[in-house]
Amino acid sequence: MMSGEIWTIGRILKWTEQYFGRKGIESPRLDAEVLLSHVLGKQRIYLYVHFEEPLEKGELAAYKELIQKRVQRIPVAYLVGHREFMGLRFRVSPATLVPRPDTEILVQAALERLKKLTGGTAHLRFADIGTGTGAICLSLLHFLPGTEASAVDISSGAIALAEENAEALGLSGRVAFLEGDLLEPVRGQRFHAILSNPPYIPDGDILRLPPEVKENEPRAALAGGEDGMDFYRRLCEEAPELLEKGGFMAFEVGVHQANPVAEMARKHPLIAGTEILKDLAGIERVVIAWRGGSTE
Ligand code: SAM
Ligand code: GLN
């Protein structure tokens, strides 16, 4: 970037797009716009109608700093501090995974099924295991008034972040956040649904992930053991007995994991049937397993 020239919004966006492109950033224009609108404290649309507006010195300095961090492959969401999920804003931090659009498939599926359970009349309770930012449980609580949730994570940083998100979304009164190992903190409780997007990347595949993920997101949020299935093995064994009759468990899964996970779930004597749902790219992304009987 040359000094002494006038940097307008339009010009700096073009420059950044090219620079990010040369550095191998996947969505150079979008990232440039999101970072600049963050610095200016404006919506992205503002940039389009103010291409000729020059940046102030302080704005330019702050933007340059973000550009340098972005080329070090720090995810945009960490740089701006938030990410949208199910139309809601979640604070993010390096304590946990940035919520992914794929996970909205799990939330949609749970939303539809929870609404149908008992015709929406009973007081529904669900659990979110490995809650991270709280994306899954908080978006469900938002769209399903009257429900309550317990959410578990092994990371104290993630629990603190999820609590902040609950507060910001006005949902704190309906969710208990618990630090601990998988189902340990909720043992003895009963839920109409148990949901999880656990770590599921096979150990050997971690090195093949993009630098944004493998160098910045916590390994404990990604690594699922040698075959990526460690968490499903435990959940399929332990979760069914915490389900109410007629309830279900629903897990996000990685590529080629849906069938083995569904099979694992069906081995449990309390599980009466399973479903597999695809994401928008046609990849089998969600496994649902139903406990037999009807809800009371
Ligand atoms: N649910 C969030 C989402 O969908 O964006 C985060 C999912 S991230 C893939 C998995 C989460 O599980 C991380 O926040 C990680 O800290 C948590 N985790 C890892 N091992 C765990 C364990 N043994 N017990 C509970 N949570 C665990
Ligand atoms: N979908 C995430 C990724 O591709 C992985 C999330 C997980 O392990 N649950 O990086």
Q: How confident is the model at residue 1 (pLDDT cuts 50, 70, 90)?
A: low
Q: Mean pLDDT over all residues of the chain?
A: 95
Residue 183 near ligand 2, beta carbon < 6 Å: no
Distance between CA atoms of 57 and 62, rounded to whole angstroms? 9
Q: What is the pLDDT of residue 131?
A: 98
With 70 as the cut, is the pLDDT of residue 2 above it?
Answer: no
**Which residues, 6 or more positions from 239, have their beta carbon under 8 angstroms from its beta carbon?**
129, 183, 194, 249
**Which residues, 6 or more positions from 227, have their beta carbon under 8 angstroms from its beta carbon?**
202
What digits encode the pLDDT tens for the residues 32-55? 999 999 999 999 999 999 999 999
With 90 as the cut, is the pLDDT of residue 190 above it?
Answer: yes
With 90 as the cut, is the pLDDT of residue 198 above it?
Answer: yes
**Which residues, 6 or more positions from 25, have their beta carbon under 8 angstroms from its beta carbon?**
31, 70, 71
CA of 96 to the centre of ligand 2 (A): 11
Residue 99 near ligand 2, beta carbon < 6 Å: no
Radius of gyration of the chain (CA): 21
Retrieve residue 149's tokens.
Answer: 């949730």
Q: What is the pLDDT of residue 294?
A: 77
Q: What is the pLDDT of residue 106?
A: 98
With 60 as the cut, is the pLDDT of residue 154 above it?
Answer: yes
Residue 182 near ligand 1, beta carbon < 6 Å: yes
Q: Which of 90-99, 199-208, 287-296 has the lowest mean pLDDT?
A: 287-296
The answer to whether residues 269 and 154 touch, using CB atoms and an 8 Å cutoff, is no
**CA-wise closest residue to 195 among 293, 259, 124:** 124
Q: Which atom of ligand 2 is nearest to the CA of 103?
A: 1
Q: What is the pLDDT of residue 100?
A: 96
What is the average pLDDT across 62-70? 98
What digits encode the pLDDT tens for the residues 87-141? 999 999 999 999 999 999 999 999 999 999 866 566 899 999 999 999 999 999 9
What is the average pLDDT across 152-171? 98
- Topology of domain 93-291 in CATH is Rossmann fold (3.40.50)
- Which ligand has the minimum distance to the alpha carbon of residue 196? 1
**CA-wise closest residue to 116 among 258, 248, 7, 16:** 248
Alpha helices in the chain (DSSP H): 9-22, 28-40, 44-48, 57-71, 76-80, 103-116, 135-143, 156-168, 211-214, 230-238, 258-266
Q: Which of 5-9, 13-17, 98-102, 237-241 has the lowest mean pLDDT?
A: 5-9
Q: What is the pLDDT of residue 194?
A: 98
Residue 197 near ligand 1, beta carbon < 6 Å: yes
* Domain spans, the chain: 9-72, 93-291
**CA-wise closest residue to 104 among 195, 13, 38:** 195
Residue 153 near ligand 1, beta carbon < 6 Å: yes
% of the chain surpassing 70 pLDDT: 96
